[in-house]
Amino acid sequence: MTDVGIIIGALAGGALIKALEPLKRYNLTSQKVKNRYTVSAAINVLSLHRFWEHAKELIDAKITSVYRSPEVNALVGGVKTSDHTKGLAVDFVARGDKLKAVRVLRAEVEAGRMGPVRQFIWESYKNVLHLGYYPNGKTGKVEYLEQYATGKNKPLGVA
Ligand SMILES: [Zn+2]
């Protein structure tokens, strides 16, 4: 390979590594097993993470969970069909006023700035905001729920 070829190859490799960085950020788990991506979950995370970065700034929140392999999901007690196992869900915990964060993020979803959201769930008993997404470029209406206890949902009132 010529020097130019090596340089171009290195640049392309660098760009690829940079493009794949979010994958490392979004499969973290406190469980003692590997949280290995499926190909489709990795693609979903790569196509959606910019919305999550945006929300994180907007509501000053920590992202506490994104991708969970079926094994990790079972260990944390997630429902079997969880969008987290498909790379189609994100959990936020706001640092400040939790209800204000719910209002602000809901408005952002309603304005269409959070991507193809399918479910907006305020898990009020844990202070977690969960967004689930439509797969494969699909869109549709958003379901707004409050989960007030494990497995117990009701329509989310306007806070
Ligand atoms: Zn969640």
pLDDT digits (tens, 9 = 90+) for 137-157: 899 999 999 999 998 999 998
> How many CB atoms are located within 10 Å of the residue 55 CB?
25
Ordered structural domains, the chain, with CATH:
3-155 (3.30.1380.10)
For 40, the token pair is: 């489709």
CA distance 154 to 69: 27
Q: What's the pLDDT at 159?
A: 55
pTM score of the predicted model: 0.89
- For ligand 1, the distance from its centroid to the CA atom of residue 17, given in whole angstroms, is 27
Please report the sign of the dihedral spanned by the C-alpha atoms of residue 43, residue 46, residue 50, residue 55. positive
Q: What distance in angstroms lies between residue 64's CA and the mean position of ligand 1's atoms?
A: 9
DSSP state, residue 125: T
Angstrom distance (rounded) from CA 127 to CA 24: 25
Residues with CB under 5 A from ligand 1 (ion): 89, 91, 130
55-81 pLDDT, tens per residue?
999 999 999 999 999 999 999 988 899
Instruction: Dump pLDDT digits (tens) for 1-58.
Output: 567 777 777 777 788 888 899 999 999 888 999 999 999 999 999 999 999 999 999 9
How far does residue 86's CA lie from ligand 1's centre (Å)? Answer: 12
How much distance in Å is there from the Cα of 2 to the middle of ligand 1? Answer: 49
The torsion of the CA quartet 71, 62, 23, 151, rounded to 10 degrees, works out to: 30
